[in-house]
Amino acid sequence: MAKVEKLTTEQQAHLEAYFQDCLHKIGLNTARANFDVAEGVMTDFYARIGKKKPAFILCDSPFQAQVYMNLLQSVLKGGQLWGQLGDQLRGQLWDQLRGQLRDQLGDQLGGQLRDQLGGQLRDQLWDQLRGQLRGQLGGQLRDQLGGQLRDQLGGQLWDQLRDQLGDQLGGQLGGQLRDQLWDQLRDQLGGQLWDQLRDQLGDQLGGQLRGQRFNYFSTWMWGQWDMYWIAFYDFPDRFIHPMYTEPQRQLLHRWKQLAESVGFIYPFEGICFLCDRPRVIQRDDRNRLHCDDGPAMAFADGYAVWSIHGVRVPAEVVLHPEDLAVASIEQESNAEVRRVMIERFGQGRFLSEAGAKLLHQDATGKLWRKDLPDDEPMVMVEVLNSTPEPDGHTKTYFLRVHPELRPLLAAGLGEPQAPTAHNAVASTFGLCGHEYHPLIET
C-alpha cells in the first residue's frame, strides 16, 4: 500500500474530535470507576504474563490504596505477596507493544506525514494529552502522595488520615478489608500468613499504624491518565488506515478499556489494587489544577489536592486566606506557596501588617525591611517574574535576604553591600551587585 503523505480534511476533523474525546471523556472523567471492566482487563493482563487471577482490592483513592498497601506489607512481612508486577506488565505489555506499533507506524507513513506526526499528531495526542493528564493531574497527585508518605512521620500522617478518612477507615478495616481481604485472600494466603493477618487486623490497628513510617509505592499504571500514548497509537490505525496486526490491536484496545474504566492501578503478585477516579477535577484556563473555593481534585473518600493555578497549597490557603497569620506566611519555606499565600492574603495587607518599610526601589524590585523586637531585622526583596503570565499580569515573589545584603554563598556569607534592590537580588545568587548583569533573563 502506498504510504500516507497527508491527512485529509476529514481526518483532520477526526483528529480534533478524537483529542477532545480522549481528554474529556477519558482523562477528565470523574464518574465512579467501572471496576468490573478493569478487573476483566487486569485478569487478562495477568494471564498474558503467565500469572493467575489476582484478588482485587477496590479503593476510593490512590491514598487509600497506599495506606492499604502499607498495612498489608507491615502485616505480611516476609509474605510472597509483594512481588510488584507493574514493571513486568509494563515491560511485556506496554513497552514491547509501543515499540512494535512505533515501527509499524513508521513503515506506513511517508516522509511528509511523519513530519506531521512529529508535528500535529505528536503535539496534540502525545504532548498535550501527556502534559494535561499525566503531567498536571497524575503528576501533582503522585508528588503530593509521595511527599506525604515519604516525608511525614507516621504520627502526623495518621492524624491526617483520621481527619480525611474519619471513621471510614476504621469502618473499612472492619468492613471493606474484612470482606475483601478476608474472603478473597484466604485462598491465596498460606495458613500461617492468614493467622498473622487475622491477629493483627482489628481494633488495635490504629495504634500499630501510629508512629510507623509509611512507604510510597511507585505508580506504574496510570489508568485514565495513560490515555496519551494509547491515543497516539490508536488514532492512525483507526482514522488513517489499519496498520497493526489483530493481536496488537486487541492489546491496545485492552489498554484503552483500562483507561476508560479506572484511575491508578497497583498490580502485585496475587493482589491488585484498583483506584476509583477522582470525583472532582477543577482546572484553570491554562489546564492547571485550580480551584479558589474548594479542592482542585477530590476523591470519594475525601482525599484531596488543593491547588491555586497549579501550585499545591494547604487547604486553608484556599478556603480562608484572610485568616492566615503573617508569621505563618513568613515561615513558609516554599517560595511559590508563599507567593500564593501573600496574593490571597493581600499583598498590601501583608506588608502593612508585617510593619515593613520600603528601603529602596529600582528596576529589579523593591527592598523592604521589617524590624523585629529582640531579633535581627527581616529584609525582603520584592521581585517580579521576568516572564509575564499569558493574561499580562506578573507574579510577585518576596525573598528574604541577609540584613546587610551579604551574598548567600554555598560556603557562607560574602561582604556587606549597599541597600539596593539590585544588590539584594544579586545576593540571592551568591553574587555582588556589580557581578550580576544577566545576559538573558526569563
Partner 1 sequence: MQHYRQGDVIIKSIPTIPADAKRLHPEGRVILAAGEVTGHHHAIALLDGIQIEAYEKDGKTYLHIEGGDAVLGHEEHGRISLPPGNYESWIQKEYTPEEIRNVAD
Summarize as ranges the residues that interact with partner 1 (CB under 8 A).
135-136, 139-140, 143, 147, 310-313, 333-337, 375-376, 385-387, 389, 399-402, 408-410, 412-413, 428-430, 436-442
Q: How far is the CB of 428 from partner 1 (least distance, A)?
A: 5
Residues whose CB falls within 8 Å of the CB of residue 441, separated by 6 or more in sequence, listed in order: 386
* DSSP secondary structure code for residue 375 in this structure: S
- CB count within 10 Å of CB 361 equals 13
Choice between 205 and 337, CB closer to partner 1: 337
Alpha carbons 351 and 386: distance in angstroms, whole number = 22
Alpha carbons 193 and 80: distance in angstroms, whole number = 10
Choice between 44 and 343, CB closer to partner 1: 343
Q: How far is the CB of 387 from partner 1 (least distance, A)?
A: 5
Q: How far is the CB of 374 from partner 1 (least distance, A)?
A: 12
Q: How far is the CB of 132 from partner 1 (least distance, A)?
A: 12
Choice between 72 and 431, CB closer to partner 1: 431
Choice between 312 and 344, CB closer to partner 1: 312
Q: φ and ψ at 146, to 5 degrees?
A: -60, -45
* Buried-exposed string 225-247: b where 16+ CB fall within 10 A, e elsewhere: bbbbbbbbbbbbbebbeebbeee
Cell for 104? 509499524
Choice between 78 and 412, CB closer to partner 1: 412
Choice between 40 and 416, CB closer to partner 1: 416
Choice between 2 and 411, CB closer to partner 1: 411
Question: 80: closest CA among 199, 5, 164, 190?
Answer: 190
Q: φ and ψ at 222, to 5 degrees?
A: -100, 5
Alpha carbons 414 and 206: distance in angstroms, whole number = 51
Q: How far is the CB of 128 from partner 1 (least distance, A)?
A: 13
What are the E-state strand segments in 30-78? 55-59
Long-range pairs, 408-412, Cβ under 8 A, ≥24: none
Alpha carbons 129 and 267: distance in angstroms, whole number = 24
- DSSP string across 178-212: IIIIIIIIHTTS-HHHHHHHHHHSSTTHHHHHTTP
Q: How far is the CB of 27 from partner 1 (least distance, A)?
A: 16
Choice between 53 and 90, CB closer to partner 1: 90
Cell for 205? 490497628
Q: How far is the CB of 385 from partner 1 (least distance, A)?
A: 7
Choice between 121 and 340, CB closer to partner 1: 340
| Range list of H helices, 21-61 | 35-48
Q: How far is the CB of 149 from partner 1 (least distance, A)?
A: 15
Q: How far is the CB of 212 from partner 1 (least distance, A)?
A: 25
Alpha carbons 311 and 180: distance in angstroms, whole number = 37
